[in-house]
Amino acid sequence: MGGCLSISLSCDDIVSRCWDSVFERVRYVRNLQENLQALTTSLRELKALKDDKQREIELVERQPRLKRTEQVNNWILSAEALEIEINEVIISHSTQEIEKLCCGGYCSKNYRSSYRYGKKVARKLVEVEALKSKGVFEEVAAESLPTALVDAIPSEPTVGMEPIFDQVWRHVEDEKVGMIGLYGMGGVGKTTLLTQIHNNFNRTRSDFNLVIWIVVSKGHKIEVIQDKICEKIGLSNGEWKHKEQREKAKDIFRILNTKKFVLFMDDLWEPVELTKVGVPAPDSRNKFKIIFTTRSEEVCSQMDAQKKIKVGCLTWEKAWNLFQEKVGKETLLLHPDIPKHAEFVANECGGLPLALITVGRVMACKKTPQEWKHAVQVLRRFASEFLGMGDKVFPLLKFSYDNLPSQKIRSCFLYCALFSEDFVILKDDLVYFWMCEDILDEHGNVEEAKNESYHIIGTLLTSCLLEDDGDSVKMHDVIRDMALWLEGENTLVDTGAYDVAKWKNAKRVSLMGSGIKSLDETPRSPNLLTLFLRGSLLKRIVDDYFDFMPTLRVLDLSENILITQLPTGVSNLVSLQHLNLSKTGIKRLLVEITACAFLKYLNLEHTFKLDYVPPNLLSNFPLLEVLRILDCGSSDRIFFNSEETMIDELQGLKHLDVLSLTVRDTSCFKNLDSHHILVTCTLTLCLKGEDYGNLSSNLDVTDVAMANMKYLDTLQIKRMVDPYGWRKTRNPSCFHGLQFVEVVDCTNLKSLHWLVFAPNLSHLHVYGCSKMTTILGLERTETTSFAKLTVLRLSKLPHLWRICENPLPVPFLKKILISGCPVLTRLPLNSSSAQTSNLIIEGEEKWWNGLEWEDQAARNAFLPCFRPCSK
């Protein structure tokens, strides 16, 4: 019948199922106590296993980029949840349920309740055992890219340093570069730049898995650096802290050697021994990176930096942008005159970011042109009194000064502050200033003093306290202000107010470029050692001006063209060792100058108006080491009364090491051939014709005099008609030490082929030689010609069409300056001749466009070097 369901079960099936159900219920009640005890034990074991896993995970997760696996994390969460459930639902009711049992545990006073409770206990026991069995893992943590590879360090944005940032980042991406050193003077922005590079690892996809940043303090200890690194890699625990330095190094090495890491070290004052720290050395195989900052280029070398990158001051445009940003547009627009005064203020900061930021923030609240004018005056005259300079900028820079290796080097550095702002100081000049003030050690000759001086200059350059400019150095304006701040009353420079009352305790005074026209007041300066009056507008010095300077050793009066005579009081300068009268209008040397018996340095170069020198003057200076009389009056005729006198006086200068001399007379020149000066002195020689006379007609470089000039350093040839003797050079040894050559207005000269015998030539200037067609000639040129050339200047050579026939290797060439050479159509360069990154080629654009090149590759190589100049 539709809609009916028929179920048929046998009697045995019904009985069997009923019996199983009853037996199962009895078992839950009968085994309750046993299961409850087993559950408690199993739960305790699960908790212990969970706690062990937790500790293991926490230790591993201290290492960067390691994170617990999802499998482990889910297991721990399940264990915690099960533990809570069992404790709250089952264990907490155990005593109550046990009390309900009777008949030896086989029955219950509340059978239904005991059955349900026993069933829960049995099932939870199964769950705990199952979860325990799943608590075995091959790994509890795995590498996982975190949200941020590095913790970004707060920092101001870099301004104007984008090119350097890009350069460093290219090296970071270059697998062949492992060690990168950034160096530069204090306050230039090295730390800011390093911070930006560090933070960029968060913004750039990278396969590095560990980035470490540490600040290395001055006088660092290996253990301190180890502790800083260990905090980053998860080794900082009680046991590790008690290990010896060597054991710590092993632990650090073991971990870092398995990672691809970047180590940033900021502010190194001395090299860090990485092997003692435990840091593996980077190489092309492991691709590790170490990037550090320092104020010393020498530290970069000692750290074996593969790339040393100098962080310099900002260009004017970028410095001005930074300054405006710190001052704010609102202030700059308050008055139409403020912007022009602001430019002067910014310029006084010399492109140093720290100074620009400090001064800019101070000036942000200055709202009148008068306040801005005052700021310019203070920065120029008393920079240390400007708010923020004396307490923020100068102390930071002073660290570099304090870190110099000796007090002698510090004294040499402070001496450079005497020169006016932006002054280019010849390195050789510093030798004689330091030597004559007795800052240097005692030396047997000038060469030894020069070697020590160049060592000191090198130290100051690598410490970024001086700036290199080839044969010269410069001192940054803010560094100079800091040096004067350090010197206090010991050193006085022109402040716009000439006050000799302040000279009482001064050891050094500089009035360079002061504009003072007359020195009428007599200073009382018992401690004065150096006095710079160079480049002023002096017309008059009172006779007793030098009466109270008994200790004065250095007097520089050079470049005062309006002064025509020295005061008679020069006879009181009994300690004087250095006297520079070059480029002055001096007409007569007074006999009183002979009282300066300790003179070691005398410079009378380019004193064109000098027409009288006391007889036998040089014999009064037996200690003279440097004598410069190039273009001194009529030189060999005025300074020496006759050829014999000249020879005798020079012969008497037993200590002479440096001599500059102009020769206008052939016979006088030939009489020098037996003199020891030509063999032992560093010589600057000018061969000069009188009104285009024919001095050179009988002058041959094969003469004994020329051949003996072993240390001929500088040679000038001026106004020669036809120096025939230069055409066939049979004994060229005199040119081996030649470094500077200047050829001017030699109308008949067609070539300077003898320069192939000057392998050390560094500077060549040829001017106004109307018939010159080539420099080295068109015959086969020695490959060593011009090998050390750094500057080539060719001017007003209308027929010059070749320098030489073939390209030459000139790896040290820095400047090529061409003007007035319209038919010069080829330079001796090919694509492998020179280092194009440091080369400047300056000339007229029309001339440059007409040049012929060996191939397109050569033209492309030198195209970035060209700088157009006006006619």
- C-alpha triplet 15, 17, 19: angle, nearest 5°: 70
| Cβ contacts of 332-338, under 8 Å, gap ≥ 24 | 334/367, 334/368, 335/367, 335/368, 335/369, 337/369, 337/372, 338/369, 338/372
d(CA 292, CA 289): 10
Q: What's residue 50's pLDDT?
A: 85
In this structure, how many other beta carbons lie within 10 angstroms of the beta carbon of residue 333? Answer: 10
Closest CA to 182 of 20, 303, 324: 303
Match 């021994």 to its residue by tokens: 273
Find the helix or strand (DSSP H, E) in which 562 lies: none
Question: For residue 604, what pLDDT is reported?
Answer: 95
| Structure tokens belonging to residue 335 | 């008055």
How is the beta sheet containing 467-469 ordered, strand by strand? Answer: 425-426, 472-474, 467-469
Query: What percent of the chain has pLDDT above 90?
Result: 47
Task: Give mean pLDDT, residues 674-703.
Answer: 62
Kindly state the tokens that stand for 214: 């540490």
Maximum CA extent, the chain: 159
The C-alpha atoms of residue 417 and residue 414 are separated, in whole angstroms, by 6
User: CATH number of 392-488: 3.10.520.10, 3.40.640.10, 1.10.10.10, 1.10.540.10?
Assistant: 1.10.10.10
Confidence of residue 735 (pLDDT cuts 50, 70, 90): confident
DSSP string, 321-375: HHHHHHH-HHHHTSSTTHHHHHHHHHHTTTT-HHHHHHHHHHHTT--SHHHHHHH
pLDDT digits (tens, 9 = 90+) for 416-469: 999 998 899 999 999 999 999 999 877 767 778 889 999 999 999 999 999 998
pLDDT band of residue 581 (cuts 50, 70, 90) is very high
Q: How far is it, in rounded angstroms, from Cα 417 to Cα 411?
A: 10
Q: What is the C-alpha to C-alpha distance for residues 651 and 649, in angstroms, rounded to an integer?
A: 5
Sign of the dihedral through C-alpha 647, 592, 560, 585: negative
DSSP per residue over 189-202, as a string? SHHHHHHHHHHGGG
Is domain 162-310 annotated with CATH 3.40.50.300? yes
pLDDT band at 617 (very low <50, low <70, confident <90, very high): confident
Question: Between 834 and 779, where is the model more confident?
Answer: 834
Give pLDDT, residue 822.
94
Fold match flag (162-310 vs 392-488)? no
pLDDT of 698 = 41
Residue 111 is predicted with a pLDDT of 55
What is the value of pTM for the model shown?
Answer: 0.77
Q: Which of 46-55, 68-77, 693-702 holds the top average pLDDT? A: 46-55
Give, in order, the Cα–Cα distances in Å from 615 to each of 431, 589, 640, 792, 811.
30, 10, 8, 41, 49
Residues near 649 by Cβ (< 8 Å), separated by ≥ 6?
Answer: 616, 617, 618, 619, 640
- Which pLDDT score, from 0 to 100, does residue 703 have? 47
685 pLDDT band, cuts 50/70/90, is: confident
Q: For residue range 757-799, what is the model confidence (pLDDT) as tens digits?
A: 888 999 999 999 999 999 987 665 556 788 899 999 999 999 9
Q: Does residue 643 surpass a pLDDT of 80?
A: no
Check: CB of residue 655 under 8 Å from CB of residue 625.
Answer: yes
Look up tokens 């009104």; give the residue: 691
Token pair for 17: 């199922």
C-beta separation of 289 from 194 below 8 A: no
What DSSP designation does 51 have? H
In one-letter notation, the amino acid at residue 550 is: P
In this prediction, residues 595-611 reach a mean pLDDT of 93
Angle between helices 446-462 and 427-436 (to 10 degrees): 110
CB hemisphere CA count around 3 (13 angstroms): 0
pLDDT digits (tens, 9 = 90+) for 475-492: 999 999 999 999 988 899
Domain segments of the chain: what residues?
15-143, 162-310, 316-381, 392-488, 740-871
